Structure 1
Amino acid sequence: MPLDEFDRKIIHSLQEDARMPVAQVAERTALSATPVSRRIKRLEDDGVILGYQPVLNARRLGFELDAYVLINLDGHSDANISRFEQAIQDNPYVIACHAVTGDMDYLVHVIARDVEHLSQITLKSLVRIPGVRDVKSIIVLETIKDARALPLE
């Protein structure tokens, strides 16, 4: 969907603060509140804006460890993939999962309280999903960049 200058300014403002009042967004875009409200509604209806949610501090909530788990399946049947993807959906410690190219089938982003908790998640949950063949874990030592705002060109 092509975005004009006003759409980009609206999205940029909402990416900075999704709770920003429409009047403040209007101020930043040099439009009045009514057209800004209509544009926001259109961006939501068109699926450009998918929703609004708070950004939580995982460490403050007790999740000290951030890890990525690379997973290979032993076969790529529909049933195997379905079973795996459902197990991933059901696991509350998996915060993202991507099917990837290369040596592994999936890249799974996991949060855990500590290394022991990561071990439990991996050994008692991920490894035991029927059809999982290989699992490799990567523990994040330091996050250099964690941008949530998308570039608007």
Structure 2
Amino acid sequence: MPKSEIDAIDCHIITELQSDARLSNVELADKVGLSPSPCLRRVKRLEQEGYILGYRAALQRDRVGLGFSVFIGVKLNGHANDGALAFEQAVVEMPEVVACHLVSGEADYFLEVVVPDLAGYQRFLVGKLLNLPIVREVRSNIAIQTLKAGAPLPLEHLNAAMRAAE
């Protein structure tokens, strides 16, 4: 299904849902100035068109035993497409990897990994990541303190574009 353009109300809906995805449809409709039925139709359309990918609970990592975060720069042996695709597939399937980015610069990929502790990181690094044959080099940066993580996307550009179009 092709994506349609979103308007100010759609933007308001996704902003509110980023802030609190547990809002009932009635509460959401009230916040965005719609009646419940049109609000629900818009939310369903935003889901179907891929603007809203899903809903989940944000967890306190250390409370669930995953307080050790590591940011890893990974260099691959060569840049053969098949090898890179195999690396990507393997990394995406690793539950410890909570984010993976193809990047430019020193590294080829930048991973965010969460594990219980340093021993858990060693098991991940030696038992999984370094077992991938295409991995040439790994540089680890351990997070000492997390000041901000999992923040809502900044949608101000959408609001500014809509105001300019009016």
TM range (shorter): over 0.9
Unaligned stretches of 5+ in structure 2? 157-166
Q: How far did 1:122 drift? A: 1.0
Task: Kindly provide the amino acid, as one letter, of the partner of residue 26 in structure 2.
Answer: A
User: Percent identity at matched positions?
Assistant: 38
Unaligned stretches of 5+ in structure 1? none
TM norm structure 2: 0.86
What corresponds to 1:62 in structure 2?
A: 65
Counterparts of 1:74 and 1:118 in 2: how far apart (Å)? 23
TM norm structure 1: 0.93
**DSSP-derived class of the 1:39 partner:** helix
**DSSP-derived class of the 2:128 partner:** helix
What corresponds to 1:3 in structure 2?
A: 6
What corresponds to 1:13 in structure 2?
A: 16
Instruction: Tell me whether 1:133 sits opposite 2:136 in the alignment.
Output: yes
- In the alignment, which of 49, 61, 80 is matched to residue 52 of structure 2? 49
Task: Kindly provide the amino acid, as one letter, of the partner of residue 138 in structure 2.
Answer: V
Q: Is the 8 A contact 1:67 1:139 kept in 2?
A: yes
Q: How far did 1:80 drift? A: 1.3
Q: How far did 1:83 drift? A: 2.2
What corresponds to 1:122 in structure 2?
A: 125
Q: How far did 1:138 drift? A: 0.4
Counterparts of 2:27 and 2:149 in 1: how far apart (Å)? 26
Q: How far did 1:148 drift? A: 2.8
Q: Deviations over 1:84-135 (max 9, x none)?
A: 1122122111111111000110001100111121112112211121111000
**DSSP-derived class of the 1:10 partner:** helix
Q: Deviations over 1:37-74 (max 9, x none)?
A: 11111111111111111212221111120111110001
Instruction: Tell me whether 1:108 sits opposite 2:139 in the alignment.
Output: no
**DSSP-derived class of the 1:75 partner:** coil
CA-atom RMSD, angstroms?
Answer: 1.4
